Structure 1
Amino acid sequence: MRLHRLEVEGFGPFRARQIVDFDAFADDGIFLIAGRTGAGKSSILDAVCFGLYGGVPRYEGGEKRLRSDHCEPEDPSEVVVEFSTPSGRYRVTRSPEYLRPARRGGGMTKQAAAVSLEESTASGWVGRAARAVDVAQELDEILQLSREQFLQVILLAQNRFSEFLLAGSRDRQSLLRRLFGTERFEDVQARFDERRRQAEQALGSRLATVVARLEEAERLVTDAGLGGENGGGEDIGGETTETATTPTVQDRLDALGRALARAEYRSERRASERADAERRSAEADARRTAV
């Protein structure tokens, strides 16, 4: 969305009609609204928000304060916002509710809030809606931003900015969370944290199973006298060398692999000894039979 023109009359500190031509600053890319305190800098932004959404964030719905205190009873209050989006160029004219002199019988009567939406065409401005509910629906479709989203990503309300500056670090984080709607990212982070905890629990359970099986295998190796390790060292030529490091799971698996190789060698040797014993037994049986 791009702002082109703003007109305010009888709004905030502005009694007489004021015009802000944003297109005059378009080539600069960035500009500063400067002035003394109370000059109406924030009221310009208030007018933009009021024109588009019918409310002012500084007053949190306090539209009773929108009409200028400088107005005479018969002075009008009106905001005109001209803007464009990829879908076209539009103009919103909005007036707050206020009291004006009654046309009959004297006294004061309530002037109802009014709003209209127009679209720029080749033949000029053409009305699109003139009821508050219709204008709101049209603007929702045109702007693609709710009031809260507009205040989060385009216009930071003055009261929230001062609140942010004065807040502590924890409160500031909470305020930023509210301003930029980061709850969904925190929900995603919470889901990932939960999945991480579940994965860690599953890994811990499987690791415990592996460790238990390792311990059982090491016990069998010890009972069978197949261990080459003793207290973290390894027998080399009948002597034991001690190491200060704690063996890892992979180290223990490697040690079990070596024990398995010893067992296979022992099994092959026992098989060879058995075959030799059976051969000698058969020869002895043959000699006994001959005798």
Structure 2
Amino acid sequence: MSDSNTTNFTNPSTFILLGIPGLEAAHVWISIPFCIMYIIAILGNLTILFIVKTEPRLHQPMYYFLCMLAITDLVLSTSTLPKMLSIFWFNSREIKFSACLAQIFFVYCFSVIESGIFVAMAFDRYVAICHPLRHSTILTNSVVAKIGLAVLLRAVMLTLPYPFLVRQWPYCRTNIIPHTHCENIPVVKLACADISLSSSYGLFELLCGEGLDTFFIAMSYFLILRAIFNLPTKESRLKAFGTCGSHVCAILAFYVPGFFFSFTQRFGQNLALYFHALIGNVYLLVPPMLSPIIYGLRTKQIREKLRLLFTRKRT
């Protein structure tokens, strides 16, 4: 038999991204909602950064963490969307192997950073509700900076092994990735080797990252709810609930699609390839789009600043 139709290579110089397999004919139409969500995410998060920077009343730990979240969302969405749109609009499917490794690192690293920021925000809400008189002394600017640095270092340490594990495998089957961007599991599935180490490490990272973060957030809110129900009046309880509402909505927008995507990748072998690709993009686009909307609508200080900005423009 001729070997002309087989491919033998190790660590190919490029991969080919299919986009959304099975829906290639609809790529242009699919790109419209994704492009709109990306634009909303960019404008919304830049607006949050601008408002917090220009409004001295918002120079508080909660809004510093919100700025960290906005920066993370900007990087997370930008790490995949431009390449995805180039596939949909210009059929630019090639991606260099090194760029693919970088994309894997950025997607996983900033997902873990975002998860860590939600834990920091939960801690801020816990201190604000359970120890209100000590809030300014516990969460000083230096403490907030140290928390941010710790979140960044933990994310780098947890995700740095991903590109090294991907790079070590021999790829002798194909270099075609049935996705819009490089994801760990779709890429390592192309290797002609036992990839159980990569799969095991992916599960370990999920448990030590988002898994532990979910536990800490749950514990924080257990203590917060206990403190709220001990408040003397209904008005005070509703006010305390209101300060947590934005955070809870943003958490649900991030963790629900995130965990769903992680588990469908590992246990949804019978699902169509286009479903995996669509869920992967929803996971990376919806939270960055929704977070600024949630905080913009539910945070009084941000609403007031936005109203003031629009009023000035009209006059």
TM-score, normalised to structure 1, is 0.21
Larger Rg: 1
More strand by share: 1
Q: Which has the higher contact order (CA 8 A, sep 6+)?
A: 2
More helix by share: 2
TM-score, normalised to structure 2, is 0.19
